[in-house]
Amino acid sequence: MVVFKKPHALSDVPLHYCPGCTHGIVHRLVAEVIDELGIEGKTIGIAPVGCSVMAYNYFECDMIEAAHGRAPAVATGVKRANPDNIVFTYQGDGDLASIGTAETVHSAARNENITVIFINNAIYGMTGGQMAPTSLPGQVTQTSPYGRDVNLCGYPVKICEMLAQLDGPEYLERVTVNNVKQIKNAKRAIKKAFQNQIDGKGFSLIEVISSCPTNWGMTPQAALKWIDEKMIPYYPLGVYKDRSAEKKEDKQ
């Protein structure tokens, strides 16, 4: 009996990510969810700019490459033109939380019926480890060699908390993938985000706290530990908004 094998929706090509990068895990979880929901033939993915820019090579569904940060805007167009298709974006923090903040906030406020997978690794990976909007206070990066100075650079952007203030979005959850238990939990969250779209409920965003061993300057093992020690205290995991559940509670 096969207990585990590569999901069909994940292409059979080597991923270009650095050793130990958790992007690969999240790619696989998305592909597994697409397989389980049986939506490979009608799913359209929107790839971002950043490390995951070549995500279009890694999924067997149709993919579109969006301009930097504009994935939710492209997804909005695709979904409105083809409401029967399942549309998801896969974006990093430099894409979604920096140049694409406007697109993210407004597509959430409009409650567009799309699924957003947001990879937060607190750094710009592809360009060589510069400070990102999500870098932690005091975090050493290429452009903050003495640690992020909050007096000079301000504080990190907490996307889930920020979007939870809006009445628009249907579902917001922050998960991580630094151990097996958390990976299973992340898969459940991603599946819910896709199911919400199939049910026509609206905007779902799953923020995945990820590691960047290369630019954090750590071994893959130390990077996963650093997520537990530094990232999660600043970015607490959990569901930030679940409008359907809130409505049910109101009725009771």
Partner 1 sequence: MNKLTFRTDNCKGCGLCVDVCPKKVLALAEDVINKKGHHPVTAVNPEACIACAFCATMCPDCIIEVEKGV
Among 40, 59, 56, CA closest to 48: 56
β-bridge pairing 115-120 and 204-209: parallel
* Shortest distance (Å) from residue 57 CB to partner 1: 14
- The yes or no reply on residue 227 touching partner 1 (CB under 8 A) is no
Q: How far is the CB of 51 from partner 1 (least distance, A)?
A: 12
Regarding 6 and contact with partner 1 (CB under 8 A), the answer is yes
CB closer to partner 1, 12 vs 84: 12
Rank residues 172 and 183 by Cβ distance to partner 1 and give the closer one: 183
* Residue 186 engages partner 1 in binding (rule: CB under 8 A): no
- By CB under 8 A, is residue 53 in contact with partner 1? no
Q: Is 229 exposed, middle or buried (0-12, 13-18, 19+ CB in 10 A)?
A: exposed
Site for partner 1 contains 20 (CB under 8 A): yes
> Residue 151, exposed/middle/buried by CB under 10 A (0-12, 13-18, 19+)?
exposed
- Out of 61, 85, 183, 239, the residue judged to bind partner 1 by CB under 8 A: 183
78 φ/ψ sector (left φ>0, alpha ψ -120 to 50, else beta) = alpha
Rounded CA-CA distance 99/40 in Å is: 30
Q: Which of 222, 225, 186, 226 is nearest to 207 (CA)?
A: 186
Instruction: By CB under 8 A, tell whether 224 contacts partner 1.
Output: yes
CB 223 within 8 A of CB 211: yes
Q: How many residues bind partner 1 (CB under 8 A)?
A: 28
When the beta carbons of 18 and 63 are compared against partner 1, the nearer one is 18
Please answer whether residues 22 and 210 qualify as being in contact, where contact means their C-beta atoms are separated by less than 8 angstroms. yes
Q: Distance between terminal CA atoms of the chain?
A: 45
Q: Which of 57, 82, 142, 221 binds partner 1 (CB under 8 A)?
A: 221
**92 DSSP assignment:** E
Smallest separation, CB 221 to partner 1 (Å) = 6
Residues 120-159 that bind partner 1 (CB under 8 A): none
Q: Which of 145, 146, 151, 180 binds partner 1 (CB under 8 A)?
A: 180
Residue whose CB is less far from partner 1, 22 or 104: 22
The stretch near partner 1 (CB under 8 A) out of 10-18, 73-81, 90-98, 189-197 is: 10-18
CA-CA distance, 48 to 45, in Å (whole number)? 10
Chain-centre distance for alpha carbon 252: 33
**Cα 15 versus chain centre, distance:** 17
**Residue 81 binds to partner 1 (criterion: CB under 8 A):** no
If binding is defined by CB under 8 A, does position 229 make contact with partner 1? Answer: no
Interface contacts to partner 1, rule CB under 8 A: 1-7, 10, 14-15, 17-25, 28, 179-180, 183-184, 213, 220-221, 224
